[in-house]
Amino acid sequence: MLTLQLRITGMVQGVGYRYALQREAVRLGLSGWVRNRSDGSVEAIVQGAQQAVDALATWTRRGPSAARVSEVVAATPSSAEQGRRYEGFEIRATL
């Protein structure tokens, strides 16, 4: 099982990005969470099979039709996040 942290920048807030990401993650069988950040970006932790995580990471580069993605940074999350096992995919409050 792979855990990946994604940070998406561009016009990604106020366009349904989090909800679309959640739908896509659930469709792919992934678990984790997504939230807006106060700097205007969207952050997500995704967990699941390598192929599904890769597919979601590819999807984040375009997002929903109203979004305009500038950059996606994929990174290894903190050791605390790597050690957690998520069930379902939730939308968290803005940080």
> Worst-scoring range by mean pLDDT, 41-45, 82-86, 88-92?
82-86
Packed helices 50-60 and 17-27: angle between N→C axes, nearest 10 degrees: 160
> Is 36 annotated in the active site?
yes
CA distance 1 to 10: 29
Catalytic one of 7, 18, 23, 37? 18
Catalytic one of 27, 35, 36, 37? 36
CA distance 71 to 89: 22
Which pLDDT tens digit goes with each residue over 3-20? 999 999 999 999 999 999
Which pLDDT tens digit goes with each residue over 18-62? 999 999 999 999 999 999 999 999 999 999 999 999 999 999 999
Which domains does the chain carry?
2-85 (3.30.70.100)
